[in-house]
Structure 1
Amino acid sequence: MKKFEEKTLSTEKIFDGKVISLQVDEVELPNGNKSKREIIKHPGAVAVIAITAENKIVMVEQYRKAMERSLVEIPAGKLEKGEEPLATAHRELEEETGYVTESMVYVTSFYTSPGFADELIHLFLAENLKKKEDPASADDDEFVEILELRLEEAIDYMKQEKIYDAKTAFAVQYLQLREATKENG
């Protein structure tokens, strides 16, 4: 048994939706007691730090119903069944921003909310962007406005809580660290 492992005794499916599913697992705790865990299953997602030739970060502003407000975020989207994260990153970059690139580099992956969800986001860095004449269109239920921000502007957006989600905050801090590393070369 792994350290602190919780053995699943039973699983009850509660909801199976377009993006997520919800289940309740009864588990045996390491001390032998039983408990319940509500778990959201998610297919995974990608997020793209897209940098223009002018060294601006391409972001999208969109309304987030769960927050009842608009947020400024880096382009992102869920993995389609059988789709590799790199392919998803290229697709989402084009659909949400109209940009394409041949320079897409894997940065890292991270869990968004491991206390109750298994969503894993794969983060990529896209440079050498080209605006596509006739880009693939966004999803029918997705309405975004494209912004291009200097790093300092993105930091200000974080202070103003316009950038207020973990993946985008992570991306901005990644770029800050990258700049600091270049300066201290």
Structure 2
Amino acid sequence: MDLFEKTLESKEIFDGKVIHVTLDKVELQDGKTSFREIVGHPGGVCVAALTENDELLFVKQFRYPYKEVTIELPAGKLEKGQNPLENGKRELLEETGAIGSGYISLGKLYPSPGYCGEIIHMYFCRIDHFETQKLDEGEFLNVMKIPLKRAVEMVLNNELPDAKSQTAVLKTAMMIDRLKGHPEL
């Protein structure tokens, strides 16, 4: 079976600073029509940065949509004209003051594929050294170091509900486990 939906019409509903919302009329495989509400997003990046003591850097911040403080890996929205890796390096420095090396892609994540086109690119790196945090205006967060093994436990105990952080933590733990004996990582 050929899985595809053809866009017949697209109507802009909202055009904001971060998201763009459309209502699309689509033709389904059986010839019938339906509607799709789509949230366009420029995408994001997330970095699992590991210290020499096998601790991951996290940021603790208030997240308005949930009205609560969350613990997440350093992350941010993609900026126009920059590739995901460069954005990841920038976000890591801005949020934590860390400079990393040996970046490895952990792949990409579709946070909500039913209605949102956002793609989050995830990376792993080792921390070389720290400089000064360079927070954006209006950005308030605390930096935390959590041992990798404890971070895995936090994911399994639902103490880190953020999808990108869960995925990157587990992928990092699996990668480190598989690559033991390779000190250059």
Q: TM-score w.r.t. structure 2 length?
A: 0.90
Q: What is the aligned-residue identity percentage?
A: 36
**CA distance in structure 1 between the aligned counterparts of 2:98 and 2:10, rounded to whole angstroms:** 43
User: Cα distance 1:102–1:176, how it changes in 2: closer, same or farther (>3 A)?
Assistant: closer
Tell me if structure 2 keeps the 8 A contact 1:71–1:162. Answer: no
1:92 aligns with 91
1:119 aligns with 118
1:165 aligns with 162
Q: How far is the alpha carbon of 1:99 from its aligned partner?
A: 0.4
Alignment of 1:92-111 (within 5 A): 92-111=91-110
Return the letter of the residue paired with 2:70: L
- 1:148 matched to 2:136? The reply is no
User: Cα distance 1:184–1:32, how it changes in 2: closer, same or farther (>3 A)?
Assistant: farther
How many residues are aligned here? 182
1:53 aligns with 52
2:130 aligns with 131
2:70 aligns with 71
Q: How far is the alpha carbon of 1:183 from its aligned partner?
A: 6.2
Between stretches 98-107 and 22-31, larger displacement belongs to: 98-107
Runs of 4+ in 1 over 4 A off after TM superposition: 182-185
1:56-98 CA-partner distances (Å, limit 9, x unpaired): 0000011111111111110001111111111101100000101
- 1:16 matched to 2:20? The reply is no
- Partner SS state of residue 114, structure 1: coil
**CA distance in structure 2 between the aligned counterparts of 1:177 and 1:64, rounded to whole angstroms:** 28
**CA distance in structure 2 between the aligned counterparts of 1:125 and 1:23, rounded to whole angstroms:** 34
Tell me if structure 1 keeps the 8 A contact 2:106–2:171. Answer: no
Return the letter of the residue paired with 2:17: K
User: Cα distance 1:158–1:102, how it changes in 2: closer, same or farther (>3 A)?
Assistant: closer
- How big is the alpha-carbon RMSD for the aligned residues of Structure 1 and Structure 2? 1.9
Q: How far is the alpha carbon of 1:153 from its aligned partner?
A: 2.0
1:17-45 CA-partner distances (Å, limit 9, x unpaired): 11111111010111111110000001111
Unaligned runs of 5+ in 1: none
